[in-house]
Amino acid sequence: MALISWLPAYSVNIPPIDAQHKSLFDLLNQLHDEITVKQSGHAAIGEVLEKLIQYTKTHFELEERFLESMKYPEIAKHKAKHAAMTQKVMKFQEEFASGNTAIATEVMNFMLTWLTHHILHTDKRYSAFLKGERLPKDAD
């Protein structure tokens, strides 16, 4: 069973970004399967974890370039959230690489919570901006 499924509520109405978000969900589901279903070892979990982290960085770069090109007024705050998340996940990855396989579950749960919250509360802000709507007060 999947850890997370794509729902229309997650859409930011920008097809390339939605596609990348869906790919991140797929990678989270793969990590979940390696940990809980297959009960894989360090190497298999590490491989999926590495893909997830690298794809997250790739996604952030694309999203940030897009937002810069659209002159999104909250780009600095958005980038800061990406940087903080990346830094935290890199620390998780270092701990995993040092032999703490159990940290993979913590990474998975952290990324699941962070990603869904980020899409629904932060990314939806730029979606509203691009549709010409007034930005609501930031809840983060």
Q: Digits of tens for pLDDT over the chain (140 positions)?
A: 789 999 999 999 999 999 999 999 999 999 999 888 888 788 888 899 899 899 999 999 999 999 999 999 999 999 999 999 999 988 988 998 998 888 888 989 999 999 999 999 999 999 988 888 776 566 55
Residue 90 CA to residue 88 CA, distance in Å, equals: 5
Residues contacting residue 15 through CB under 8 Å, at least 6 positions apart: none
Domain 17-130 has CATH 1.10.540.10: no
- Taking Cα atoms as reference points, which of 123, 140, 138, 106 lies closest to residue 32? 106
Residues contacting residue 104 through CB under 8 Å, at least 6 positions apart: 31, 34, 35, 45, 49, 96
pTM exceeds 0.75, yes or no: yes
